[in-house]
Amino acid sequence: MHNTDADLTYGFLSYFLLIFTRLVFKSQVLSQVNQVDDLINPYLIPIKFILKKCQIDTAVL
């Protein structure tokens, strides 16, 4: 097996494509997670507040 310039170029291109697709995939997944967070947060904030209030009440007792 001889390493030619074409082999090296192909290797670099495939490596670059792999990294690029992973970055794009990660950014898409992160944006979807953020969208889900934006949908859930308004419901979670009161629940967190109530839970904290319950913890404070039980701590006082």
- Condensed to tens digits (0 to 9), the pLDDT of residues 24-58 reads 888 888 778 777 777 777 777 677 777 777 776 66
**Domains contained in the chain, number:** 1
| Reported pTM | 0.42
Instruction: Summarize pLDDT for 16-25 with one digit per residue, the tens.
Output: 888 888 888 8
47 within a domain of the structure (yes/no):
yes
What distance in Å separates the CA atoms of residue 49 and residue 55, rounded to the nearest whole number?
Answer: 10
46 within a domain of the structure (yes/no):
yes
pLDDT at 3: 63
44 within a domain of the structure (yes/no):
yes
pLDDT at 7: 76
17 within a domain of the structure (yes/no):
no
**DSSP state for residue 1 in the 8-state scheme:** -
| Dihedral over Cα of 22, 28, 30, 32: its sign | negative
33 within a domain of the structure (yes/no):
yes
Q: What is the DSSP string of the chain?
A: ----HHHHHHHHHHHHHHHHHHHHHHHHHHHHHHHHHHHHHHHHHHHHHHHHHHHHHHHH-
Q: Dig out the tokens for 56 from the structure.
A: 């404070």
Domain that holds residue 43: 22-61
10 within a domain of the structure (yes/no):
no
